[in-house]
């Protein structure tokens, strides 16, 4: 009879994984222990600091500046109404996406990510923020209401693009107000100059506008660059190369300092924000064009030839054969660029606008803040990291999901 | 040919616009009912944005005083925050009526840039801050030391010029961001730090141990900070200037926001009668409201009140008056007579 032997060592599971990967010899064991100790110690110190030493009351007091900066106090409901409308649109789109063949997993994820934030703010608002007590709750309700409306009424998806178009215009009108400026200084829908827009609201406006508008512009420029029409081709090449030849901050300078001098005597006619939006969008479009061109180059010629053989027109070929494949190949690059643009909005300080990043500098030099030994730079930096991370990270996730869904790298 | 005509037409229109009869900005502001005032993007004590979104500070109060004097309401100001790069363009293009943005009055800005400066509201100057235990007390002690300075500023150039002329060798430690400079200094990354003295004073409060640092007595540059308006509009420039002079005169005569009403009623001093009651039309002829200076003092305060509210002993900054005292107290604030 064969004597019973010990079972072989397990090779899967948590224990064996650690044994094989972190403690497989003495050297690695020491490194593992030291690394874990270091991480634990830093985390412990960070949390101790965050919860016992950080001067969060100052940050907390300035939440309004971080949100909308100097937007008039009595009109705070307007940015919040705009937020409600935007969140409603996001919810609606996510709800409608649930009827798509792919199951709308990506949109659902984005929606819940936003909803988590909005619901969190709604709770904070109910408890602490008297001036905007119910508005954040309304935002949250509209957000989730939109989602279930979309789920319940799939027919709306045919009109979704129009709903978005009208919604964006409405959001703009709500934030900007209605002309003329000086009709009544107390009126609820009075005009608010773009110089008074700021904080995270401005960050979102600039980055959303830049990302959305530069996408079609970039595709157009990329196609233009590959076009056989010389005017189109050389215009596209010239535009792309000139714009990419200088850093964004230089273009913002030009937009803010030269344009008003060249155009006319009163820059109020083209406020700083619009000049910034134009500069950011055109800059982003040039980079987008090069990304898309990379994708276009990756589509084999055989695809075009096959399309021609089937009798597709040049436009049909581009729209249905070449572009879908080209864009699919460059999703990571496009998302990467969008994340970059989202963070580059902090450069708008050159035109005296205050996005969330520049608001933190203002807060850091308030007289009462200067009385705090060592200042509150660390607290403010952590807040910025948290805010930027929350959105950038979500963009990354969406990008990975999209790649997986489209099978990038699998064919 | 067609192109040429178009070009000429554009040029014609441009010149036609430029050639429109000059009316003073002062009248335009009165019609508009608000003053657009260019202030800093944030300089502690001079332009602060409070947590409720309101503005305060030394420069901000001068904007308010001008608004009170021209429009009768210190709140009728629209603040426009300007970066240092765009501030002059904002004046040149008329985006702001007046620039009160810790701007140093220099010859090139007065002539080439095309500004017209009003009297200095704050005499500043570049100085140094060092640790008490570093043994640095005079400029000569800076020999061989590391000095933190902001890159691309006149401060950096001054430092090199002045210490170079005195044959004092030093190592500049240059940073773009002022937060980084003071962090580095606080952590011992440099032995001394240099910028305008008002800036040093305000920054000292946020160091880990403010009492361990002192500001050297030496001043190596003149930085008169003055409001400015666009060149070529003397009416408006005069109005701004005399608001500043009025606030200094008010301090000289002890007129404050608290007592201005009773002084205006009871005074027998002819100068005060002219200033507060517009006797002889002295205030009106400046182009201000007849009760303009009265309103500015009542709603904002005299020079000393503005100074103390924003930079005085009760603030974190506690900047000594120094040169910014009245000429009767050893300073150089001297307003010409209102008569």
Half-sphere exposure of A187 (CA within 13 A, CB side): 13
Residue A402 lies in a domain: yes
Show which residues on chain B lie within 8 Å of chain A, measured between beta carbons. 17, 32-33, 41-45, 48-53, 78, 80-83, 85-86, 89-90, 92-95, 179, 183, 186, 202-203, 205-210, 315-317
In a domain, A15, yes or no: no
CB contact under 8 Å between B42 and A362, yes or no, is yes
- CATH code for position A370: 1.10.3720.10
Q: Is the pLDDT of residue A103 over 80?
A: no
- Residue B16: predicted pLDDT: 45
The answer to whether the beta carbons of residues A65 and B49 sit under 8 Å apart is yes
Query: Average pLDDT, stretch B36-55?
Result: 90
Q: Are residues A358 and A309 in the same domain?
A: yes
Q: Residue B51 is nearest to which of A64, A193, A375, comparing CB atoms?
A: A64
Q: How many CA atoms lie within 13 A of B6 on its CB side?
A: 3
Same domain, A105 and A207: no
Residue ending a domain, choose from A192, A220, A248: A192
Verify whether the Cβ–Cβ distance A366 to B49 is below 8 Å. Answer: yes
The residue of chain B nearest to residue A70, with distances taken between CA atoms, is B53
Cα(B69)–Cα(B299) distance, rounded to whole angstroms? 10
DSSP label at residue B329: G
How far is Cα of residue B192 from the mean position of the Cα atoms in its chain?
A: 26
In a domain, A347, yes or no: yes
Residues A206 and A172 placed together within one structural domain of the fold = no
B120's tokens: 């200095």
- In a domain? residue A18: no
Per-residue pLDDT at B209 exceeds 70: yes
Residue showing tokens 């508008």? A213
Residue B243: name the closest of B78, B74, B55, B123 by CA.
B74
Clarify whether residues A172 and A282 are in a common domain: no
| pLDDT surpasses 80 at B153 | no
Q: Which of A192, A216, A243 is the last residue of a domain?
A: A192
More confident: A181 or A255: A255
Please check whether residues A284 and A410 belong to one and the same domain. Answer: yes
pTM value is: 0.82
Q: Average the pLDDT over B223-237 and give the result.
A: 94
Q: Given the structure tokens 């201005």, which residue do they identify? A: B260
Q: Per-residue pLDDT for B7 more than 60?
A: no
Query: What is the total residue count of chain B?
Result: 339
Confidence grade of residue B228 (pLDDT, cut at 50, 70, 90): very high
Q: Chain A: nearest CA to B186, how far in angstroms?
A: 9
β-strand partners of B214: B130
- The percentage of chain B sitting over the pLDDT mark of 90, rounded to a whole number, equals 61
Number of domains in chain A: 2
A181 and A264, same structural domain? Answer: no
Instruction: Using pLDDT thresholds of 50, 70 and 90, give the confidence band for residue B15.
Output: very low
Residue in chain A nearest B311 by alpha carbon = A367
Tokens of A157: 């998806």
Residue percentage of chain A with pLDDT more than 90:
46
* CA distance linking residue A330 with residue A298, whole number of Å: 9
Token pair 């335009």 in the structure block, residue = B28
Host domain of residue A380: 197-411
Mean pLDDT, range A129-158, rounded to an integer:
89
pLDDT tens-digit series, residues A399-410: 888 888 877 655
Whether the CB-CB separation of B84 and B104 falls below 8 Å is answered with no
Look at residue A362 in the predicted model and tell me its pLDDT.
Answer: 87
Among A7-16, A231-240, B214-223, the range of highest mean pLDDT = A231-240
Which pair of structure tokens corresponds to residue A2? 């064969």
Look at residue B215 and give its three-state secondary structure. Answer: strand
**pLDDT reading at B14 higher than 70:** no
Interchain CB distance below 8 Å, A362 and B186:
no
Compute the distance between CA of residue B252 and CA of residue B246 in angstroms, rounded to an integer: 10
Chain-centre distance for alpha carbon A68: 17
Are A244 and A123 in a shared domain?
no
pLDDT for the residue A184 = 64
| Whether A78 contacts A131, CB under 8 Å | no
Q: Please report, for residues A273, A399, B131, B325, the alpha-carbon distance to residue A395 in angstroms, rounded to integers and kept in the order given.
A: 25, 6, 47, 57
Of B44, B86, B183, nearest to A370 by CB-CB distance is B44
Q: What is the pLDDT of residue B70?
A: 96
Mean pLDDT over A158-177 rounds to 91
Report pLDDT for B22: 63
At B78, which helix (H) or strand (E)?
Answer: strand B77-82
Q: Are residues A207 and A172 in the same domain?
A: no
State the average pLDDT for chain A.
Answer: 87
The answer to whether residue A80 is domain-embedded is yes
Residue A292 is inside which H or E element, if any? helix A272-298
Residues in chain A: 411
Contact B83 A366 (CB under 8 A): no
Q: Is the dihedral of CA B260, B261, B265, B266 positive or negative?
A: negative
Poorest-confidence range of A31-35, A187-191, B54-58, B325-329? A187-191
Instruction: Answer yes or no: do B316 and A370 touch at CB < 8 A.
Output: yes
- Residue B88: alpha-carbon gap to chain centroid: 14
Whether the per-residue pLDDT at B18 is higher than 80: the answer is no
* Structural domains of chain B in order of their starting residue, each with its CATH number: 25-123+225-329 (3.40.190.10), 126-221 (3.40.190.10)
**Residue B318: is its pLDDT beyond 60?**
yes
Read off the tokens for B157: 């150039």
Q: Alpha carbon of A333 to those of A23, A290, A292, A328: distances in Å?
A: 38, 10, 9, 10
d(CA A211, CA B170): 48
For residue A265, the model assigns a pLDDT of 52
d(CA B317, CA B205) in angstroms, rounded, equals 7
Mean pLDDT of chain B: 88
Measured distance CA(A210)–CA(A220) in Å, rounded = 15
pLDDT at A14 over 90: no
A411 within some domain? yes
Structure tokens that stand for A91 in this block: 């919810």
Count other Cβ atoms within 10 Å, centred on residue A351. 23
pLDDT band at A12 (very low <50, low <70, confident <90, very high): confident
**Looking at the structure, do residues A291 and A370 belong to the same domain, yes or no?**
yes
> What is the percent of chain A with per-residue pLDDT over 70, rounded to a whole number?
95
Same domain, A288 and A403: yes
Average pLDDT over residues A59-80: 90
pLDDT digits (tens, 9 = 90+) for A292-307: 999 999 899 899 999 9
Residues A226 and A330 reside in one and the same domain: yes
Domain membership of residue A44 (yes or no) is no
Min distance A129 CA to chain B CA atoms (Å): 13
ipTM of the complex: 0.78
Q: Tokens in use for B151?
A: 């890159």
A32 assigned to some structural domain: no
Q: Which of B329, B218, B339, B230 lies closest to B281, judged by CA?
A: B339
pLDDT at A87 over 90: yes
Which residue did the predictor score with more confidence, B329 or A196? B329
Asked whether residue A135 carries a pLDDT value surpassing 60, the answer given is yes
Of A62, A351, A371, Cβ closest to residue B51: A62
Same-domain pairing of A180 and A212: no
What is the rounded radius of gyration, in angstroms, for the C-alpha atoms of chain A? Answer: 26
Task: Pick the last residue of a domain from A174, A192, A210.
Answer: A192
Nearest to B179 among A182, A253, A364 (CB): A364
Which position has the higher pLDDT, B248 or B42? Answer: B248
């Amino acid at each position: 009879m064969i004597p019973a032997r010990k079972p072989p060592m397990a090779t899967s599971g948590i224990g064996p994984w650690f044994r094989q990967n972190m403690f497989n010899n003495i050297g690695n064991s020491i490194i593992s222990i030291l690394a874990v100790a270091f991480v634990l110690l830093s985390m412990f110190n960070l949390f101790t600091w965050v919860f016992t030493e950080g001067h969060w009351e100052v940050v907390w007091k300035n939440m309004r500046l971080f949100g909308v900066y100097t937007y008039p106090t009595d009109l705070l409901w307007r940015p919040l109404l705009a937020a409600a409308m935007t969140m409603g649109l996001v919810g609606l789109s996510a709800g409608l996406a649930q009827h798509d063949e792919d199951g709308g997993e990506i949109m659902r994820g984005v929606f819940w990510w936003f909803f988590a934030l909005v619901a969190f703010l709604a709770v904070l608002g109910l408890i602490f923020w008297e001036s905007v007590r119910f508005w954040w709750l309304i935002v949250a309700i509209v957000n989730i209401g939109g989602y279930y409306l979309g789920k319940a009424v799939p027919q709306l998806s045919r009109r979704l693009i129009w709903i978005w178009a009208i919604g964006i215009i409405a959001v703009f009108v709500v934030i900007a107000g209605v002309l003329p400026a000086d009709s009544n200084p107390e009126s609820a829908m009075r005009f608010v100059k773009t110089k008074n827009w700021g904080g995270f609201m401005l960050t979102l406006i600039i980055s959303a506008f830049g990302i959305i508008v530069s996408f079609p512009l970039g595709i157009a420029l990329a196609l233009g660059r590959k076009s056989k029409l010389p005017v189109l081709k050389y215009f596209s090449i010239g535009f792309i190369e000139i714009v990419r030849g200088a850093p964004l901050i230089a273009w913002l300078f030009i937009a803010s300092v030269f344009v008003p001098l060249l155009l006319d005597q009163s820059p109020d006619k083209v406020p700083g924000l619009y000049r910034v939006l134009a500069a950011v969008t055109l800059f982003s479009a040039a980079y987008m064009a090069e990304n898309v061109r990379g994708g276009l180059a990756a589509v084999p010629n055989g695809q075009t030839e096959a399309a021609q053989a089937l009798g597709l027109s040049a436009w049909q070929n581009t729209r249905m054969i070449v572009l879908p494949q080209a864009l699919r190949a460059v999703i990571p690059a496009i998302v990467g660029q969008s994340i970059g643009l989202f963070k580059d909005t902090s450069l708008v300080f050159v035109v005296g606008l205050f996005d969330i990043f520049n608001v933190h500098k203002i807060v850091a030099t308030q007289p009462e803040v200067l009385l705090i030994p060592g200042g509150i730079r660390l607290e403010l930096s952590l807040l910025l990291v948290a805010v930027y991370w929350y959105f950038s990270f979500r963009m990354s996730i969406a990008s990975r999901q999209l790649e997986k869904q489209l099978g990038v790298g699998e064919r | 040919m067609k192109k040429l005509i178009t070009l000429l037409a554009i040029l014609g229109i441009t010149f036609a616009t430029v050639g429109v009869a000059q009316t003073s900005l002062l009248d335009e502001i009165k019609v508009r009912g608000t003053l657009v005032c260019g202030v800093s993007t944030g300089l502690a004590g001079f332009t602060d944005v409070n947590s409720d979104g309101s503005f305060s500070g030394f420069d901000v109060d001068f904007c308010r005083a001008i608004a009170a004097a021209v429009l009768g309401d210190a709140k009728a100001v629209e603040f426009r925050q300007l970066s240092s790069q765009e501030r002059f363009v904002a004046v040149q293009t008329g985006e702001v009526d007046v620039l009160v943005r810790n701007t140093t009055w220099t010859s090139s800005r007065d002539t080439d840039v095309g500004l017209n400066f009003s009297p200095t509201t704050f005499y500043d100057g570049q100085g140094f801050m060092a640790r008490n235990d570093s043994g640095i007390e005079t400029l000569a002690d800076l020999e061989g030391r590391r000095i933190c300075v902001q890159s691309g500023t006149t401060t950096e150039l001054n430092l090199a010029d002045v210490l170079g002329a005195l044959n004092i060798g030093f190592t500049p430690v240059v940073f773009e961001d002022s937060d980084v400079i003071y962090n580095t200094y606080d952590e011992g990354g440099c032995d001394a730090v240099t910028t305008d003295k008002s800036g040093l004073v305000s920054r000292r409060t946020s160091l880990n141990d403010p009492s361990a640092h002192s500001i050297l007595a030496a001043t190596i540059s003149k930085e008169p900070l003055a409001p400015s308006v666009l060149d070529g509009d003397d009416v408006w420039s005069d109005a701004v200037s005399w608001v500043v002079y009025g606030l200094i005169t008010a301090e000289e005569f002890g007129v404050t926001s608290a007592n201005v009403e009773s002084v205006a009623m009871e005074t027998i001093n002819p100068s005060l009668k002219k200033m507060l009651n517009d006797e002889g039309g002295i205030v009106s002829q400046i182009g201000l409201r007849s009760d303009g200076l009265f309103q500015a003092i009542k709603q904002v305060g005299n020079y000393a009140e503005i100074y103390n509210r924003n930079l005085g002993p009760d603030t974190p900054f506690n900047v000594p008056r120094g040169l910014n005292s009245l000429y009767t107290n050893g300073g150089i604030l001297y307003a010409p007579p209102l008569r």
